Amino acid sequence: MALIKLKGNPVNTTGTLPQVGSQASDFTLVKTDLSTVSLSDFKGSKLVLNIFPSIDTSTCATSVRKFNETASNLTNTKVLCISRDLPFAQTRFCGAEGLENVVNLSDFKDGSFGNTYGLTITDGPLAGLHSRAVIVLDENGMVKHTEQVEDIVDEPNYEKAIAAL
């Protein structure tokens, strides 16, 4: 389990992020049209998994905006924005913001992505949501970079994530 913080207060997650050099575990997430997608559907593309508690918080919204801007300049790379938000909330936010370069995916059905990747917050006011993290995968699903953001209110290190591609 990872010890992270929420505004300086300690909270725990269900585990730790996958190790760099390991094969990423498969997942099934819900797209904004309510269909499902798995890791294998992205085979052949580099992936930036931008993971966060909720699109309806300022830091999460900022990370989606920044990765959307960055994604427009990347080749053979997809930015997956993953949370437990309902797909309707993800669609509303990205539509209002005009964000078209990221793929919003939801783990709302059973939280299995968060549990598999060690991201589910187990205590505190955000228990059940995902911690803020970034995972970068190569075209074959190998983990190239991970960042567990120490305090949920902080932004990830965008430059390190992009440099890992």
Please give the positions annotated as active site: 60
DSSP class of residue 14 equals S
Tell me which amino acid residue 56 is: D
Tokens coding 36: 């499902």
Instruction: Tell me whether residue 122 is exposed, middle or buried, using C-beta atoms within 10 angstroms of its C-beta: 0 to 12, 13 to 18, 19 or more.
Output: middle
Concatenating the DSSP letter of every residue in 26-82 gives P-EEEETTS-EEEGGGGTTSEEEEEE-S-TTSHHHHHHHHHHHHHHTT-SSEEEEEE
